[in-house]
Structure 1
Amino acid sequence: MNNRQNEYDAVIVGAGMGGMTAASLLSRDGYRVLVLEASHVPGGCSSSYYRKGFVFESGATTLIGFDDHQPLKKLEDELGITIKKEAIDPSMQVHLNGRVITRWRDREMWVKEAINHFGEAAEQRSFWKKAFYVSDVVWKVSGKNHFFPPLKKRDWFSLFKNDPRDALVLPYAASSVRETAVQSGISNHQFYRFLDEQLLISAQSRSDDTPFLFGAPALTYTNYTNYYVPGGLLNMVQQLQEYIEQRGGALNVKEKVTGISRNREDTYTIHTSKNKQYRTGLVISNIPVWNMEEVTSGSIRDYFKQEAGKYTRAWGAFTMGVVAEDVFEENMSLHHQLHLSQEDAIEGIDSGSLFVSISRKGDTDRSEEGKRVLNISAHAGTDFWFGLNGNYDRLKQKTEESILGLMREKLPGFTNAKIHMAFSATPVSWSNWVYRKKGRVGGIPQSMSRSLLDWTPNETPFGGLYLCGDTVYPGQGIPGVTLSGFNVYYRVKRKHNNRARNH
């Protein structure tokens, strides 16, 4: 272990956007950083992969976070880079009961659209006014309160630096999205169905169990600037990889961390699947809390067993990749939510909709001219798919065929599109791809039963061991995990700044 090559100022476990954010910021400050990733590409659930000449996203996904007070804009500003991206508008189209609801970015246009489809004009205006207000405050406040949830007195005192007027949103932590809509006077049951499926893809929970404090940003993300990354989200992650490597850091893929052991001198030894060991005084884990129990021991293992036990409810996903002939309309939205009726129910699928992302027309880095790449995603129960045993392959094929059938019915243009490739993945696949325990993706679902303060924090009780990613505060989504990378960075800097060497 005296070999200098195996010693790093910081080792980041997992190359998701949370870990890559923290690694980039520490690299900028002179830390010698090593990022270890079990998969063959970085990015985790915010990435892309190649298959038979085409580039697929890890899942059907949208990208925001570059507007004022949002974490990806801050990351660009802090690193002095510009992530290659293209703005898209509208953000999404929702297909519900034969109607197409367009999620316009412009707030007034969206409110008029909602009124057009759901009626109750005054009530809709009241609800969305609250949602925009709460969302804007949450982005502003979360972007400057990096020591939340508070662990020590100084963390609590730092909260008093906020504008007292922003505290007016706190009561919305105790009111669900559904309760807030009811209080606004909305009675249209189709609107509540719309809310449930929109929240499920952004907050991992439905309107009756999502606090409005979190639900407002989840519902209004289409009203901020949405982006498309040419060539796939992997290109965004690789820009951060290049930044780290240019500053003396390293990112090793296909090198799974198999053990994290604490040494007497308050340093850590990281053991990997390549039979290598790395020594560091600072470990930042970007892998889910459920996985940490498997790679730790003693009191550290006990801590993560307790933390993981808080979150027994989490989603898996049934996803598909499709390559289809490009017969779609020129200005067709790149993101679609297809609502399913009771007659459309698919065994193994637990959401009431399919979410579809389509590659941009002319993006030849993802597909050859004349073809488009589609990613489809739906929520799925992990226990169901892991418990199928001999029926797994049969049901996977049946589910895939059912989804393609519904796509032909509900996605404009897809009926006439020749399919050149189609394949699917279940939570079992996801556990093998990105090594998340039981294939749980999307983070921890929001819940009315969990306090704002009852989140796994970035800092653990063990000196030098920190956390980021979608199973710690603030939770889901690319902006959320990027914010977690900032939060862990500031905690590290407050306690370990003197550990950076001069390189």
Structure 2
Amino acid sequence: MSEIVAKSAYDVVIIGAGIAGMTAAALLSRSGLSVCVVEKEPHAGGYLAGFRRKNFRFDSAIHWLNQCGEKGIVTRVFQFIGEDRPKPKPLDRIYRNKAEHLDYVLTSNPEDLKAQLIKDFPHEKAGIEKFFGAAKKIARTWDLYAENFRAAETMSVLDKVSNGMKKLNFIRPLIRYIWYHGEEGVTKGLNLFFKDPELHRYWASEHDLLSCLFPIAWAYIGDYQLPPQGGSQVFIEWLTHVTEFYRNDIVYGATVQSILLEDNVCKGVVFERKGKVHTVKSKQVIAACDVEMLYERLLPTDLIPQSLKDNLKSAELYSSAVAISLALDCPTEDLGFTEELIMIQAEGISRAEHDSGDPYKTAISIIPPSLRDKSLAPEGKGTLTVYSSAYIDYKNYWGCEVDATGNYVRTDAYYKIKEEFANIILDRIEERLKVDLRSHIMFMDVASPITHWRYSYNRGGSIMGARPGRANMEAKIAHYQTPVKNLILGGHWADLGGGVPIAVKSAANAALIVLKTQKTEAFKAFAQYADGKIDHKKAHETGAFEAYDNSWVQRKTPAEEQKEKRNKKD
């Protein structure tokens, strides 16, 4: 960790030490560029940081991982950085839909789910076969996605033609289904296959037809993974190690005040740390942070077109959430849980109400991190993480006061409302699963949309960014090149979608844009690798990248440290 910046100028400054910022930092470090990462929190990680309480480690961000298998985007980018990368394991039991009258589990063999649905709905056999067949067709082209992650800003005209053909092959199985979204749209889309409303209930909380098909498609190709042992934060530990291996700087507790401009060209950043203001110059800046904050707070008001700012304000974002982290006095499996995510849905409500933020109606996801990874909890103990959609304006902004600068000031009412919300969610879990959960809770932590906003500044506390979809595409919400020269977007705001794969994909593209300007040979080699034309070893043999000794050693979790100390005493 750098207390202050070691230099007054770098090749690149990166705002934000989340998974996107740190991936870009590691890639550019390996490319031989000088990098400074500026992070307002006292640690790296963003949504993957997790937290520690009483020898429990809470991996608070991950439902499951995609694109971390052998051919996935995350694996391909991380493999390029180093062979010592954390390695996720396959997830077998993926998703359990526990509705009032439905109870089905999607596993790594989706044929089992298909057989169960046919058994329960024999009159819809043909449609169920057709539906799973459509998912399988999507699965067959999914490898093309990992070889088609370069952004248009990184391509020549010839590249755009070549990659356009790949993209066409990838989206061809999707085209028929892409238009079915919303309450009526999903119903019409499912009616293409089967019309029984009881069968439709399995997908009662999905907002578009592709969201119904994709999970099964991913299951067919084994594209579900568990976080690596130690939790998703070990990705951050590793990327931090790589960045610091090349003697580059990560400055924590540093709040960016403004983008440094000369003749409206980005020349670095100005940040405050411990009451002191620092100016750091750079050839380019990657903003792996909230885009609205960047445009509204860090740049002069007249530098960004108002139409772009208006589009961002009206963009369709992923909701925020209430995340409840539970420490249990027994192993999670003792309460009947297995490794899959459990989804609890209310009956007889609209699709929108499943995502409404009403604690009595919103869909609930339950994940058993310590069952999946025993290193996360002390021996004989367990953890559960519970998510439900929530919005920042719930009960007058969760009882917060809003100050003159737009910040949310937490009050006694805030903590009371959080507790009330969490208790409603826990009541629903106990009722639906017939489990005595509360008597086993040692302590719990509740994060609200206010919490997520404080850590990210994302509008409304959105936990991922802008949703894929026609409206956001037409409004050109996703973009890498900003209206300010040498200022590049990274992270979830550079591309549509959410989760680790989009963050890593965006980081790789932001790094490519930098390399295209600053280190041509490295750009050419990494672009060829991204397009699947050469492997990572061939790319490194070009001499365009610095050597790396694969020296990362994973730190023990708090529970592992506790066990080691106890063994030494014995």
Bin for the TM-score computed over the shorter chain: 0.7 to 0.9
Match in the other structure for 1:256: 255
Q: CA distance change for structure 1 residues 409 and 325 in 2, over 3 Å: closer, same or farther?
A: farther
Match in the other structure for 1:202: none
- 1:143 alignment partner AA: E
| Alignment of 1:146 onto 2:150 | yes
Q: Normalising by the residue count of structure 1, what TM-score does the alignment of the two structures yield?
A: 0.85
Output the CA distance in 2 between the equivalents of 1:21 and 1:105: 29
The 5 Å alignment of 1:33-432 reads 33-59=35-61, 61-81=63-83, 82-116=85-119, 120-141=124-145, 143-148=147-152, 156-160=160-164, 162=166, 165-166=169-170, 168-169=172-173, 171-172=175-176, 174-176=178-180, 178=186, 181-182=189-190, 184-197=192-205, 199=206, 206-207=207-208, 212=210, 216-217=213-214, 220-223=217-220, 224-264=223-263, 266-274=265-273, 275-292=277-294, 293-302=296-305, 305-311=309-315, 313-326=317-330, 328-329=332-333, 332-341=338-347, 348-349=358-359, 352-361=362-371, 363=373, 365-384=375-394, 387-389=397-399, 391-411=413-433, 413-415=435-437, 418-432=440-454
Task: Note the C-alpha offset of 1:379.
Answer: 0.8
Q: CA distance change for structure 1 residues 27 and 348 in 2, over 3 Å: closer, same or farther?
A: same
Match in the other structure for 1:483: 505
Task: Note the C-alpha offset of 1:180.
Answer: 7.2
Output the CA distance in 2 between the equivalents of 1:152 and 1:75: 21
Tell me the SS of whatever aligns to 2:105.
strand
Tell me the SS of whatever aligns to 1:287.
coil
Q: Is the 8 A contact 1:92 1:222 kept in 2?
A: no
Bigger shift: residues 32-41 or 373-382: 32-41
One of 460, 464, 471 as aligned partner of 1:442: 464
Deviations 1:440-491 (A, max 9, x none): 2122233343447834222223321111222332421111221111222223
Q: Normalising by the residue count of structure 2, what TM-score does the alignment of the two structures yield?
A: 0.76
- 1:367 alignment partner AA: A
Q: CA distance change for structure 1 residues 388 and 271 in 2, over 3 Å: closer, same or farther?
A: same
Match in the other structure for 2:564: none
Unmatched tracts of structure 1, length 5 or more: 200-205
Output the CA distance in 2 between the equivalents of 1:124 and 1:26: 47
Task: Note the C-alpha offset of 1:412.
Answer: 6.3
Q: CA distance change for structure 1 residues 277 and 403 in 2, over 3 Å: closer, same or farther?
A: same
Match in the other structure for 1:21: 23
Output the CA distance in 2 between the equivalents of 1:35 and 1:116: 55
Output the CA distance in 1 between the equivalents of 2:251 and 2:190: 51
Task: Note the C-alpha offset of 1:267.
Answer: 4.4
- 1:97 alignment partner AA: E
Q: Is the 8 A contact 2:329 2:380 kept in 1?
A: yes
Q: CA distance change for structure 1 residues 441 and 328 in 2, over 3 Å: closer, same or farther?
A: closer
Tell me the SS of whatever aligns to 2:46.
coil
- 1:225 alignment partner AA: Y
Q: Is the 8 A contact 2:144 2:167 kept in 1?
A: no
Output the CA distance in 2 between the equivalents of 1:318 and 1:399: 8
Output the CA distance in 2 between the equivalents of 1:495 and 1:414: 59
Task: Note the C-alpha offset of 1:236.
Answer: 1.6
Q: Is the 8 A contact 1:230 1:365 kept in 2?
A: yes
Q: Is the 8 A contact 1:86 1:228 kept in 2?
A: yes
Tell me the SS of whatever aligns to 1:97.
coil
Output the CA distance in 2 between the equivalents of 1:190 and 1:260: 55
Q: Is the 8 A contact 1:39 1:255 kept in 2?
A: yes
Deviations 1:371-398 (A, max 9, x none): 1111111111222255343754433221
- 2:195 alignment partner AA: S
Output the CA distance in 1 between the equivalents of 2:343 and 2:101: 12
Q: Is the 8 A contact 2:69 2:225 kept in 1?
A: no
The 5 Å alignment of 1:440-479 reads 440-451=462-473, 454-479=476-501
Output the CA distance in 1 between the equivalents of 2:521 and 2:76: 25
Unmatched tracts of structure 2, length 5 or more: 401-412, 523-543, 547-570
Percent identity over paired residues? 18
Task: Note the C-alpha offset of 1:50.
Answer: 1.6
Match in the other structure for 2:566: none
Output the CA distance in 2 between the equivalents of 1:371 and 1:394: 28
- 1:323 alignment partner AA: A
- Displaced runs of 4+ in structure 1, greater than 6 A? 149-152, 343-347, 499-503
Equivalenced residues, count: 490
Output the CA distance in 1 between the equivalents of 2:198 and 2:154: 39
Output the CA distance in 2 between the equivalents of 1:451 and 1:369: 48
One of 3, 9, 12 as aligned partner of 2:11: 9
Deviations 1:404-438 (A, max 9, x none): 11222234655485110023121112122334343
Match in the other structure for 2:517: 495
Deviations 1:14-61 (A, max 9, x none): 122222222221111111112222223322223311234322123352
Give 1 or 2 for the bigger CA radius of gyration: 2
Q: Is the 8 A contact 2:96 2:342 kept in 1?
A: yes
Output the CA distance in 2 between the equivalents of 1:30 and 1:484: 20
For the aligned residue pairs, the C-alpha RMSD in angstroms reads 3.4
Tell me the SS of whatever aligns to 1:296.
coil
Match in the other structure for 2:557: none
Q: Is the 8 A contact 2:14 2:288 kept in 1?
A: yes
